[in-house]
Structure 1
Amino acid sequence: MSEARVRAAFPFTALVGQAPLQRALLLAAVDPAIGGVLVSGPRGTAKSTAARALAALLPDGAFVTLPLGASEEKLIGTLDLEAALRESAVRFSPGLLARAHGGVLYVDEVNLLPDALVDALLDAAASGVNTVERDGVSHTHEARFVLVGTMNPEEGELRPQLLDRFGLTVELNNSFDVDERQRIVKARLAFDADPLAFCAAHEAAQRELAQRIAAARGALGSLELSDAVHERAARLCVQAAVDGMRADLVMLRAARALAAFEGAAQVAPEHVDEVAEAVLAHRRRVMPDQRPSSSERGEGGAPNEPGPASPETSAESLQSEANPDWGELPPEPVAARQVKGVIPLPAKKR
């Protein structure tokens, strides 16, 4: 029996003040192909507690942690090449990706991992499969899990290329609300005092939430994405000036997961609006206050196309391209004065 099953997890439904994080985790649980959740925030903001609580809601209940010093083989698994040559059979030793199938793979301080490990993690999280290849021998297995990565921005950032591959992000902050802090601490103390009794008090709510996740997973395939939903997602991504098309795909997957979780008959543009911030927060290249104003937008909210340039403007643009220093002021002479204590250089002989 795994440690995740023996050790009682703090109930997901008992979390306090973590609504954005809970929503992001639930969406990833409904559709792991979203690509995982990156949780950014200071220490002590219940990042690992929330991830472990989510695992308890899933059918398998597996909660696997990737340590910082893990090797690539420990993550993806290994192949016994000697056995393949001797017996003409593939012997595969499972790694953490295989163990996490059906559960949660938790990576603390993901920003400190080598890029090769992060690449392998994100590939498996998005595709749902893991392939190990060694000297012409390969083995593929399912690896459908909810990836939860955490990081403290004070300890370094992820490269933009890796950051973009996380489906959703949530930024946590310290709580300075006195009432909320009291509720958080009281809940934690009650759990630590008697975990079984605390979990029993939330058992009904936990069971109902687990059933909603299972039902939402089953409903995903029946929910179609209308042209209006596609248009809303595309417009939000254009306004955020994101790179590539990954944001559009993740936004549509997240909107569909939200609709399925809510039991909606169809995905609506409003579902796109509700998941947009978690999708765009780490991809946005244009901040909301930098977007074109209403007077600068054309019909439908799209930015107006620039009109024909005047002859003066065109001439200035050409001159600027030909000479990048064009427009700079010429240097002005400044009177020099001798500084006390400095020996002047001897004058050059004429």
Structure 2
Amino acid sequence: MTAAPATNNAAVAPLAAERARYDAGRSFSVQEAHRHVRDLFGHRVWIYWTDFLLSLAVGVTAFWAAGPLGLLSPAGLLCSLVAALALYRCFAFIHEIAHFRAKRALRGFRIGWNVLVGIPLLAPVFLYESHGEHHNKKLYGTERDAEYLPLARLSVRHSVVVVLGSFALPFFGPVRFGLLAPLGWLIPPLRRRVHRSLSTIKLDLEYQGRQPVGRRERASWAAQEAAAAVYVWAMAALAVSGAVPVSRLLQWYAVFSVLALANSLRILAAHRYLGNEEEMSVVEQMLDTVNYPRNRWLAELWAPVGLRLHALHHLMPGLPYHAYGAAHRRLVTALPADSAYRLTESPGMARSLRELWHSCRAHRRAGAILPLRPRTAPEAGGVR
């Protein structure tokens, strides 16, 4: 008879934690937080290039070295893992590019990243141009946010699908760019459908994107699609001719799957996903997002390029990733010990994933499971 109350308390604990965070957020001042870090918003482009090129060199070298060492040998498997994590770090720069694409100082970096990583990974930069919606106060957490689902209020199976989908992602690029893009050039209705449904990096698979706007953007998307298509065809020709062994293709699948899995787990751990498809203020966004200040070097492996301090990023999306560490230290020092900013911290990914699991169960017991409904994005020229 004494076990039931403990079970009930455990069930409602996540809901009580939600209330405590949002109560603390009422007194949080965004302006005061910015005042402590206002000198850190300058971009150091040389850091971007150095970090990116070193990561790329490590990734490519490790991928190649796995062959001579034996792809299935312990040393070969270790090299493939290093390649996956290094290329994952390279890929993560697309997040910085999406935020600062209008900055002239980073235009060269955007082009270089797209040529060296975006096209080879079949993730050109135009696939992430909707990211601004994820930081819009009117769109974050709503049905018009491609990168958000109220996972904490949904069945656990939705989170499981996100993880399992990682193993299908290596096939997305070849099909999207090697097959559907060329067909779309010949069949305009198919091209428009591909742009709506398959041209956005997204968590919400039902999200419908937009068409490219204006001659310049249409030309940019078409050029990136064409480059990715040529890359797919070239790799297919090399594989058919035997120039690229099947073992290397299997290695690439494994490396890409590990990269995608790391990113999927990071996505699940980046937010608390407690939204109810309603607008959220900047402070509410911050409280719905998670910082990982501990175990920095480990966290950088699965949440690279500043993504480990994701709550800080949602509080100050204009801050360059290389300033996150200094900004976080200043805020922790300057803000009160009971500041809402402190409530964004988590000791690690495992803890956050467990909390997401418990939140799903708590909301299910409370009868707060939300149905998924079709989601649409504004047409070209609408709110972005």
The TM-score, its normalising length taken from structure 1, stands at 0.24
Q: Which is helix-richer, 1 or 2?
A: 2
Structure ranking higher on relative contact order (CA contacts 8 Å, 6+ apart)? 2
Q: Which has the larger radius of gyration?
A: 1
Q: Which has a greater percent of strand?
A: 1
What TM-score do you get using the length of structure 2 for normalisation? Answer: 0.23
